[in-house]
Structure formats: C-alpha cells, structure tokens
Amino acid sequence: MTQKWWQDAVVYQVYPKSFQDSNGDGIGDLQGVIQKLDYLQDLGIRIIWLSPVYASPMDDNGYDISDYRAIAAEFGTMADMEELLTEAKMRGMEILMDLVINHSSDEHAWFQESRQNRTNSKHDWYIWCDPREDGTEPNNLRSIFGGSCWEFDEARGQYYFHSFSKKQPDLNWENPEVRKALYDMINWWLEKGIAGFRVDAITFIKKNDHYADVVPDAPDGTAVVKPNNPGIGEFLMELKQETFDRYDALTVAEAPGVPLEQMPEFVGEEGYFSMLIEFDHVDLDIDESGRWYRLQDWNLLDFKRAIAGSQEMINRIGWSALYLENHDQPRSLNKFIPEADHGVRTAKLLAVTYFLLRGTPFIYQGQELGMTNVSYTSIEDYNDLSTIDQYQAAVREGIAEEEAFALVARRSRDNSRTPMQWSEEQHGGFSSGHPWLAANPNYAIINAEQAVSDEASIFHFYKQLTALRRASPYKEILVHGTFEHVNEHHPYVFSYKRILRGKVVMVICSFSAKSEKLKLPHNPVVRIIGNDEKTEAEGRKITLKPYEAVVFECE
C-alpha cells in the first residue's frame, strides 16, 4: 500500500471523562488533557483519539450528541478544544475526534423537530414506524443496550428506532438531506485542523429488514439488531468522497460485523476507511446474542486464529488498528490472563503480543500502567447504562442476583472507565473533588508517578516498544513487514514473524504458567526486547519461562 504518515504512529485513546479533572468538579475535561500532553509526548504518542467531547446529555457519556458543533460544558469550551489542538501540534501530536453519526441524542434539535408531528421538515430524519395493529412495537429487534429497538412517541403516535439506548435515536441515512447535514459538520471539523476521526458504530447505518420479525436469539423472543447490512457500501463510499478524501483524513472505523472477505472493500487501497476496529479477538467470550451473562469459553488457539486471520488479510490489502483495550472492554490483564498475577510481567507480555503486529497500535488510557478491572460491590456503584441493562436482563432470565452481578461485573464497561491513576494521592490524583466514578483503590500501587520514575515499569516498556516502531534499526520491518504465523497449533505460545526483504523479526509470547520448550524456524541473532532478564536459547531451541515474551532478529 502507499505509505502514510500514520503508519509508524502510536495512537493513545483518551476517555475525557476519566482522564484528568482540572477544576475539581469530579469530571475529567479538556484542560485536564492539555495538562497531560507532556506525559503523552514522553510516551512517544503521535495521535490522540478523544472519545466524544461534543454537547451531550451524557446518557452514554457523550456517545449521544445533542450538538455536533459545540463542546459539552463539563468538558470545557470550543476555545479549550482549539487550545488542545494547538498545544498538541506544538508537541508533534494530532487529534482524532470521535464521530458518532449512526445516531444522535434525542435532545438534538433535529430529533426535537422530527418528533413534533408527521409533517415537519425533519419528519423523516429519523426512523419512524407505525405500531402493529395491537399497538405493540413494529418487530422483535432488541437494541445493543437491551430492550426493544423501538420506542413509542406520543406526539407522533409512532415508534422510533434506536440501535443503542432510547436516548440515541438512529438517523435516517436513506434521506439525502441527513447525509448532507452530516457531511457539512464533518468538513467543518476537518477545517479546524483535526487529523481525522474514529468513526463510531458505523456499520449500523444501513437498515434493511428492520420492520419484520426476525428469528429470536433469546428466550424472550427478541433478536439483537445486526450491523453491516447489504447496501451499506453506497453510503460509506459517498461519506468518504464527500468528506475524508478531501482532507486526506485518517479514519478508524469501529466496524462490528465485517467478515474477513469484506475487508478489501472496507480498508483496501480504494476502501472506505484507513483502518478498522475489529472485534473477533476481543469478543471471543461473547456469542451472537451479545449477552454478557452467557459468556462462552475460549482459549489461546481461538485468540491466535482471530488475530492471524485478520493479519493475513491485512498483509495483502492494507492496514489494521491493533488494540486490546478501549472504553467498551474490560482491562486486558483481567480478560486475557485471568489466572495469573496481574503484575508487570504479564502486562509486558500482552504489550508485546499485539504491539508488533502489522498495523497501528492503540493504547487505551491506563493500559500503559497495567490498570486492572475494578471490584465494586453493588450494582448501584456502576454508571454504565449497558451494565445496568445486562444485569436486569440476566435477572429477568432467571439468573440469581448475586450470580448476575458477578457475570456482568466481569464484562462491565466501567472496568476501563475508572479514573486514570496518576499518583498515590486521593482518587489517584485524578480529581481534587469527588470523582463521577469511584477510582480503583489499587491506585496506591499502580499509578503514573510511580511508573514514570521506575525504568522497569510497564510505562517504560511501552515507551521502548513505541520507539522501536518510530526510530530504530527495526523500524522498517516492524512497520512495513508482512506477518507470518509461527507454530500456529501451539496451545500456549503465540509466535509470529515480521518479514521484509529477507529480514526476519520473531515475536514469541508464552501464555503458559509453566516453562515451554520451542524449536524456532530460524536462528535468533539479536535479542531486541523481552519481559525477562534473559532468554534461555541454544541454537534454534529456546526455553521460555512462564509468561515470557521475547523478540529476536533472526537469520
């Protein structure tokens, strides 16, 4: 593929509400982000993805936008946003905004008008449908956050459609006026000098069989709404041509439901986006119905298959977003290595596992410190609407309250939304006031101040990995090399090669609690990085210690 400026970059995701509170109201804000730019620069970050900061009633922490051209008062002002852009650029960093255009808030002026009656000028800017004869919802589709996709509106005597919460009505993409209004807004932001967007839930924009009953996937007769329906390509191509293409913007599409065969269409040379946020490797524990209280078992072979499948496709066609965590996922240490001590060693193992794949690595705030899931004791301690919905649904399905709580707690999105742990001060130094969500008490041990001062920390390890990709003798191969899976049937070791013009770098990651002997396909010559003091190797034979990760240049 043609080379792009973002290929050797590392992206850092900021969840503004939980990052740094600058004024003591308990809510993270833009001035807080500005205060921490030096920290991000030190880590080697080139691109910051800001989760939504637009005006919003915050039903879903900003993924419900009431004004696309304004900043939420609790986060700051447009002047703060402009200051952030300038300050970031001064440090060689770019900003990616989060683009939420499958839906708006029900408090957006467009929806307020649309709901008035069936004749107003925006009457078909959202998806409205008459009730069935008995007055019930048009069909049995279930929203991602639980409950029907349809919500009744008294004024219109009709139901409106929402893929997510009922405060997030879906925009009607079939209407060209809606698309035009969105494109204008997108270009307005690009004019301000942002580098591009992380594009939220974009595979949900096309609705097809959304009016008739579908085959149920849950005992209550409902079926969860499905993304990536036929015909979506026309919308995505137009979106790209009318906006992103004109600015050479970087676009990272959150794209559930895109099978490997369709990746060329989405991220090939002429594809709709620069890269995709894929789900196979992070949702191994979730089945088709998406219920957190029906988690399924998985093992390292499943994980390896998911990663390798995507990488082998990416080798041929384009680029990938590499990640283990974000604001919707539990912390990676708890999810991927639940049996082990959540120490520095395992965090470094996970870092090596994904950071040296082909693509652009993303770090979610706190991941570079080894932050872990939180253990709240009651459902009342949670803020995430999805956690509460899933809990209620579990109880409705007959699961005992205690068990339902334990199950959803494991998957809760609040696990990754607890305040960033900056220091051992109160609330981890996140806020001088009362945080909107309680900090994880382990901030006493796990915090940035400690990590920055300790050369052996997870933070410094991420910094080294970032430097390897940005400026090192291995830069070319780590950025542009192809991926090749090694020992693909090994149940406890994930290993792969990166190859460029006859040069080979081998990445070897053991997820085993015991030591593991391996025979390599090449001779290791230089040890590039690892999470242990040294690796025991003799010719092509190596013995990996428990949870050891090591990277070699080979011949």
Which residue's CB is nearer to Ca ion, number 39 or number 492?
39
3-state secondary structure of 321: strand
Q: Tokens 């459609």 belong to which residue?
A: 161
Burial of 534 (0-12, 13-18, 19+ CB in 10 A): exposed
- β-sheet bridge partners, residue 152: 159
290 binds, among ligand TEU, Ca ion, none (CB under 5 to 8 A by kind): ligand TEU
Provide, rounded to whole angstroms, the least separation between the CB of residue 75 and Ca ion: 8
Number of residues that bind Ca ion (CB under 5 A): 5
Q: How far is the CB of 168 from ligand TEU (least distance, A)?
A: 6
Q: Which two tokens stand for residue 492?
A: 């406890």
The C-alpha atoms of residue 183 and residue 181 are separated, in whole angstroms, by 6
Convert 456-467 to b/e letters by CB count within 10 Å (16 or more is b): ebbbbbbbbbbe
Binding string to Ca ion for residues 12 to 51, with x set by CB under 5 A, is what?
A: ---------x-x-x-x-x----------------------
Between 142 and 327, CB nearer to ligand TEU: 327
Looking at beta carbons only, is 418 or 495 nearer to Ca ion?
A: 418
- Biggest CA–CA distance in the chain, Å, is 78
Q: Two tokens at 301?
A: 């072979």
Residues 452, 293: Cα–Cα separation, whole Å: 38
Of the pair 164, 244, the CB lying nearest ligand TEU is at 164
Position 328 contacts Ca ion (CB under 5 A): no
CA distance 283 to 303: 10
Which partner in ligand TEU, Ca ion, none is near 277 (CB below 5 to 8 A by kind)?
none
CB closer to Ca ion, 25 vs 83: 25
Inter-helix orientation angle 176-191/232-239, to 10°? 30
**Residues engaged in binding ligand TEU (CB under 6 A):** 60, 63, 100, 144, 164, 200-201, 254, 256, 290, 327-328
For the chain, the straight-line distance linking the first and the last C-alpha, in angstroms and rounded, comes to 26
Helix (H) or strand (E) holding 394: helix 385-396
Cβ 445 to ligand TEU, closest distance in Å?
28
For residues 77 and 71, the answer to whether their CB atoms sit within 8 Å is yes
Query: Residue 201 binds which entry of ligand TEU, Ca ion, none, with Cβ cut-offs from 5 to 8 Å by kind?
Result: ligand TEU
Taking the complex as a whole, the smallest distance from the CB of residue 147 to Ca ion amounts, in Å, to 32
* Closest distance of CB 308 from ligand TEU, Å: 22
Residue 77 found at the interface with Ca ion (CB under 5 A): no
Catalytic residues: 200, 254
Query: Does residue 484 bind Ca ion (CB under 5 A)?
Result: no
Cα–Cα dist 81/428, whole Å: 25
CA distance 542 to 515: 10
d(CA 104, CA 173): 12
Q: Which does 60 bind (CB under 5 to 8 A by kind): Ca ion, ligand TEU, none?
A: ligand TEU
The pairing of beta strand 541-544 with beta strand 516-519: antiparallel
In whole angstroms, the minimum distance from the beta carbon of 76 to Ca ion comes to 8
For residue 504, with 0-12 CB atoms within 10 Å meaning exposed, 13-18 middle and 19 or more buried, which class applies? buried
Residue 551 and residue 509: Cα distance in Å, rounded? Answer: 9
Q: How far apart are CA 290 and CA 224, in angstroms?
A: 8
Question: Are 509 and 549 in contact, with CB atoms under 8 Å apart?
Answer: yes
Nearer to ligand TEU, 29 or 170 (CB): 170
> Which residues are registered as beta bridge partners of 516?
544
With respect to ligand TEU, which residue has the nearer C-beta, 327 or 348? 327
By C-beta, is 391 or 459 nearer to ligand TEU?
391
Binds 389: which of Ca ion, ligand TEU, none (CB < 5-8 Å by kind)? none
432 near Ca ion, rule: CB under 5 A? no
* Residue 25 binding target from ligand TEU, Ca ion, none, CB below 5 to 8 Å by type: Ca ion
CB of 29 to Ca ion, least distance (A): 4
What 3-state DSSP class applies to 173? coil
256, interface contact from Ca ion, ligand TEU, none, CB < 5-8 Å by kind: ligand TEU
Distance of alpha carbon 23 from the chain centroid: 27
Determine, following the binding rule CB under 5 A, whether residue 420 of this chain makes contact with Ca ion: no
183 binds, among Ca ion, ligand TEU, none (CB under 5 to 8 A by kind): none
| Least Å from the CB of residue 137 to ligand TEU | 20
Which residues of the chain form contacts with Ca ion (CB under 5 A)? 21, 23, 25, 27, 29
